[in-house]
A and B are shown apart, each in its own frame.
Chain A
């Protein structure tokens, strides 16, 4: 809450200024979502950018997850230079020195869902990337052990994809006693 105040101000300014120069960080456009700093990185630049951010004191990788935007009702708010794709890899980094988080959103196309692994930079992403692979079917090149983690090893499909139906167990209700 309190940590977001400066960022929120920046977002407000961007809205007021008629032609704001697009903010960039390590060659990737920056946007603010609810006052939180978001970096839109190209898929090929992900590891480079994370390495540079690590030198900028973003020492810890908190979270790696993904979102499936298949059938998302309206166009997403993305900088102009970014083409929306079906999957989005979301990486959250934290800088203890700046007391600030930064979120990296990476567009991953459906036709080729592969991303380079962050394991070499942040070994802690191993389990999170396994989970993303398990749940979304996104492959991480260079990951040491890319296998299913939460679902059984012989499971078919990737449950958190939007075209994976929610399972339902048929329930047979006992009919009310007929009169």
Chain B
């Protein structure tokens, strides 16, 4: 078993003490912070490595090319023997300047850019972008567009979470789970391909609605997939949840408290794993989440096992939501009938001069969004995905900021790993589920 104690009491002169109420806990949090975050430049690390004495700690570089760092995350880990003392996440290897690019793309093109940030939940990214633009435009979405978005977002959540189960299994040497998880993912991606035309990076959610209506036969296809997935979740319970090795490997590993999570800006499954029930779909509903029935899954111990169990059970809740959406999918338009927002259908261009002009204007200049600024936050599979948009009245956003949950969650790695063993580092990274495309943007 791993060393779980990681309270400040062992490292400060203040002795054993309870975590204080949030209002006065600022300084305490900072102390804790200083204890586990490694703040060392490359040059300093090199100097340290040259020192020859027995008391020295080892600095180990993990990544950026490491199979279990989920992409190109690099961790500088300070080790005392096998115990992790401090950690510094080093990111930026995948930085492609997407926020700068976003300022150069019109609102029609923007979603294409944003969908590539979090490549496991592309629909959420497009949706945050479009919701922010729609907030600035002040358009009211048609019912059907709202429900299509909700359906795809939930399917996207299932895809993201089964991929988490797969990679989490792989990192902890449950290779069969990796195979099963990716099998599930493929089936769901095929559904996404049927609806959007692409397996990933769909660019299906557009400002003012969706790119197309749902294809014929989507219900039957989705019903089959959801039934299969739900049945197989039972198998995963047998394969992993109730399996002693799996439990030993994850329980009590990488714990984080609610106070730490709130202080570090953590949202989503990691915050919920500490026993704090906060889900934007429930507490600040957007789209039509207030009209569907689902439960917010909450953990208790804030360890890797809770984070695994929460994601597993969120798949069940997402399936529940998908079934309700299927039953209640309204009819009607899937895009706003506003000529200044939605391009005319192809057939109209041949017969109407006005339609031709609108088409031309929309695709050359983009949608004219009134001046102003707005922030929209949605619950992506990883946490609060925000989009802060500033418009200057032209067809391109003046500033397009995405609040990336993964980037902020990386900050809790040092705290989760503190005083743990190096072998658990992989389990901890995996349980945070960072997507480096979103971290670096």
- Write the residues of chain A forming the contact surface with B, with a CB cutoff of 8 angstroms: 1-3, 33-34, 36, 54-55, 59-63, 65, 67-69, 72-74, 77, 90, 92, 96, 99, 101, 103, 119-128, 131, 135, 144-145, 147-153, 159-160, 166-167
Contact = CB atoms under 8 A, between A and B. Distances in A.
Nearest to A55: B23
Contacts of B410: 127
Nearest to A72: B392
B408 A127 contact: yes
A124 B388 contact: no
A120 B267 CA distance: 20
A115 to B, nearest CB: 17
A151 to B, nearest CB: 7
Contacts of B285: 1-3
Pairs of residues from A and B, 8 with the lowest C-beta to C-beta distance, nearest first: A124-B265, A124-B264, A145-B39, A150-B92, A150-B95, A63-B403, A3-B284, A65-B401
Interface string B230-248: 0000000000000000000
Nearest to A164: B100
A125 B96 CA distance: 22
B287 interface: yes
Contacts of A101: 375, 377
Interface string B39-51: 1011000000000
B388 A63 contact: yes
A123 B99 contact: no
Nearest to B140: A1
A126 to B, nearest CB: 6
Contacts of A62: 265, 267, 377, 384, 386, 403
A96 B278 contact: yes
Tell me the interface secondary structure of chain B in the complex. Answer: mixed
Given A123-B29, A124-B265, A103 B375 contact: yes
A96 B283 contact: yes
Contacts of B23: 54-55
B374 A121 contact: no
A151 B92 contact: yes
Of the four ranges (under 10, 10 to 19, 20 to 34, 35 or more), the interface on chain B belongs to: 35 or more
B440 A150 contact: yes
Nearest to A144: B39
A67 B389 CA distance: 10
A125 B410 CA distance: 12
Nearest to B265: A124
5 contacts: A34-B136, A60-B265, A61-B265, A63-B375, A99-B283
Contacts of B265: 60-62, 122, 124-125, 128
B213 interface: no
Contacts of B42: 153
Contacts of B39: 144-145
Contacts of B95: 150-151
A150 B398 contact: no
Contact of A74 (B290, B371, B384, B411): B371
A123 B266 CA distance: 11
A119 B37 CA distance: 13
Interface string B375-418: 10100000010101010111000110101000110110000000
B131 to A, nearest CB: 8
Contacts of A135: 99
Contacts of B440: 150
A77 B390 CA distance: 12
Contact of B388 (A60, A65, A149, A159): A65
A128 B263 contact: no
B156 to A, nearest CB: 19
A65 B97 CA distance: 15
Interface in B174-224: none
B30 interface: yes
Contacts of B333: none
B135 interface: yes
Contacts of B30: 119-120, 123
A79 to B, nearest CB: 14
Given A62-B386, A73-B392, A119-B30, A124 B411 contact: yes
A138 to B, nearest CB: 14
B27 interface: yes
